[in-house]
Amino acid sequence: MGTSNSHYFVSVWDIDTGNRLFIDRIEKGHHMWDGVAISPDGSLFVTNERVVRLWDTQTVNVLSTIGGNEYASFGNRVVFSPDGKRLAVTARKDNTIQIWDMPNRKTLCRLKGHTTYVYSLAFSPDNKTIVTSGWTAKDVTIRLWDTMTGELLASYPDQGAVAFAPDRNTFVGGTHIYAWNPETIQYDRTVRLEDVSKSNPPTALTFSPDRSIIVSGNRDGIIRLRDSTTGKIISNLAGHINWISQFVFSEDGKTLATSGADGTILLWNWDEVLKELTGE
């Protein structure tokens, strides 16, 4: 799990053990803002500075840079595809998303359509689709794109955090759970998340490894566990006191790491959470 702060520090954490693998102060003038992405194999991490930089996790040396002036503003997001072969980078300056071919360090496509900055984005498990979301009242849209061609596949009137389920046919975005057919682009969003609204959408979302639970965060710092078929709240986890920004499950699915604007990272024993839910 990668984290960054406004004091130019980047940390990489092992969420299986809770140990910080390293902390390093990025050269002053490289502005950090929304986060750090770590490649699935753990060999690289990416910072979303005014220039997007690729770093070696072991040496903390810069390997290469991506882009230039189009990223010259705060708030750029970076997300790796599950296979690590693609990197999505948002450019807040023009509200676009670039999809990069990581082995060749080349642009595959640029996604154009959002009218304000992209708040959240997530790849599908098969790497073929990416879902993105606006945040402000000027762009109340969640969009699905083809990651090879950049084609806009669908657009829905919603906003907030987004996340794909372990299967390609379900994702959660903003206020709804979406079931969709990637072949026909048909979708169903009849399942609404309990206790959310377009004026107060989730700030972070993820599915449990078995996809039965949606973990959602909000500005109030409460982690809500929801039934993934009904959207209903089944339990809460208290610990953060401010805006929740990120959820990451460990590779073995036994630990949930959560981070927030209160400056804390919390580790939750997922087996214990499930035991409390079932009363065992």
At residue 258, the 3 state secondary structure works out as: strand
Residues 211 and 166 in one domain: yes
Burial class (CB in 10 A: 0-12, 13-18, 19+), 95: middle
**Same domain? 136 vs 87:** no
What is the Cα gyration radius of the chain?
A: 18
pLDDT at 19: 57
Q: What is the pLDDT of residue 77?
A: 83
Query: Is the Cβ–Cβ distance between 115 and 140 less than 8 Å?
Result: no
Residues 159, 194, single domain; the answer is yes
Q: Above pLDDT 90, what percent of the chain?
A: 45
CATH number at residue 83: 2.130.10.10
Number of domains in the chain: 2
**116, 136 in Cβ contact below 8 A?**
yes
Of 56, 77, 112, the last residue of a domain is 112
101 and 184 both lie in a single domain:
no
Q: Is the pLDDT of residue 85 over 50?
A: yes
- State in Å, rounded, how far the first CA of the chain is from the last one: 30
Q: Report DSSP state, residue 27.
A: P
Residue 62 has pLDDT above 70, yes or no: yes
Query: Which whole number is the average pLDDT over 17-26?
Result: 53
What residue numbers bound the domain in which 231 lies?
113-280
Q: Give me the amino acid identity at 131.
A: V
Last residue of a domain, one of 58, 91, 112: 112
| Distance between CA atoms of residues 109 and 77, nearest Å | 16
Rounded Cα distance, 108 and 128, in Å: 12
Q: Are residues 84 and 137 in the same domain?
A: no
Using the predicted structure, report yes or no on whether residue 233 has a pLDDT greater than 90.
yes
| 246-267: average pLDDT | 86
With 80 as the cut, is the pLDDT of residue 229 above it? yes
Q: What is the mean pLDDT of the chain?
A: 83
Q: What is the pLDDT of residues 157-176, one digit of tens each?
A: 999 999 999 988 899 999 99
DSSP codes of every residue in 60-75: --EEEEE--GGG-SS-
- Predicted pLDDT at 126: 93
Pair 28, 127 in one domain: no
Tell me, yes or no, if the pTM score tops 0.75: yes
